[in-house]
Amino acid sequence: MPSQPAAAGHDALALFEDEAVDRFLREPSEESYGQLFRALAPRLLCYFRTRGCPTELAEDLAQEVMWTVYQRSWMLRRLERFRPWLYKVMRNVLLQHLRRSRRDVATVALGKETAELPAPVADPLAGSQFSEWMASLAPDEREILTLRYVDELEYHEIAEVLGLPTGTVQWKIFNAKKKLIKRFGNGRG
């Protein structure tokens, strides 16, 4: 059974993912699905944990995402569409979870969808400089910078995930960086 490349760099990991996705889209089977799951699991866990989900919840939501991938990925024909589509699925699963949990707490006002994404709170994030920086930004900027730097999506992929023009994504990243410069100076302030 192929496993993640040991001490792999970003390019090797991306290639490993692409190969697993390509194989699953061409020959969906238990084996190719298992390989796909192992290839995508780090990305899925990281996505949900970065957005404040505790470990167990992140695992459950990752399972939901992969269930959708298994059921619906045959509608996708092109490998390059997979990553934005996967992130849309992850985002929808997270928003559905947040809506479900908020139904139980009637006093919490619902804001815009992007504002529903919580600031990173889980333990591994507590001492993270990245989280401190993100906490100083607006929710939509936080989401875009996280997609860009933690999830490593290209501008056009972020645009597709969020339904925004690519130029808007670039502009928001540029402005968010300017805010960070103003707030934290050289990054140690």
In the complex, minimum distance from the CB of residue 112 to other proteins, in angstroms, rounded to a whole number? 24
Q: In the range 1-20, which residues lie near other proteins by CB under 8 A? A: 3-4
The token pair at 171 is: 């502009």
In the complex, minimum distance from the CB of residue 153 to other proteins, in angstroms, rounded to a whole number? 12
| Coil, helix or strand at residue 118 | coil
Does 140 participate in binding other proteins (rule CB under 8 A)? no
DSSP state, residue 151: S
Give the count of beta carbons closer than 10 Å to the beta carbon of residue 26.
9
Q: Rounded to whole angstroms, what are the CA distances from 50 to 130, 132, 165?
A: 10, 12, 25
Q: How far apart are CA 46 and CA 48, in angstroms?
A: 6
Does 75 participate in binding other proteins (rule CB under 8 A)? yes
For other proteins, the closer of residues 29 and 108 by Cβ is: 29
For other proteins, the closer of residues 75 and 105 by Cβ is: 75
Contact with other proteins (CB under 8 A) among 43, 83, 91, 142? 43
Phi and psi at residue 105, to the nearest 5°: -125, 85
134 sits in which H/E element: helix 129-135
**Residue among 23, 31, 24, 20 nearest 72 (CA):** 24
For other proteins, the closer of residues 45 and 57 by Cβ is: 45
Does 50 participate in binding other proteins (rule CB under 8 A)? yes
Give the angle 121-112-43 at the CA atoms, nearest 5°. 45
Does 54 participate in binding other proteins (rule CB under 8 A)? no
In the complex, minimum distance from the CB of residue 172 to other proteins, in angstroms, rounded to a whole number? 10
Q: How far apart are CA 156 and CA 39, in angstroms?
A: 23
Does 28 participate in binding other proteins (rule CB under 8 A)? yes
Select the span of 78-86, 96-104, 107-115, 130-138 touching other proteins (CB under 8 A): 130-138
For other proteins, the closer of residues 52 and 84 by Cβ is: 52
Does 77 participate in binding other proteins (rule CB under 8 A)? yes
Q: In the range 89-108, which residues lie near other proteins by CB under 8 A? A: none
User: In 52-95, at which residue ranges do the beta strands (DSSP E only) sit?
Assistant: none
Instruction: Please name the residue ranges forming H helices in 27-110.
Output: 30-50, 55-72, 82-103
Query: Residues interacting with other proteins, by CB under 8 A?
Result: 3-4, 28-30, 33-34, 37-38, 41-43, 45-46, 49-50, 59, 62-63, 66-67, 70-72, 74-75, 77, 124-125, 128-131, 133, 145-146, 148-150, 155, 167, 170-171, 174, 177-178, 180-181, 186-187
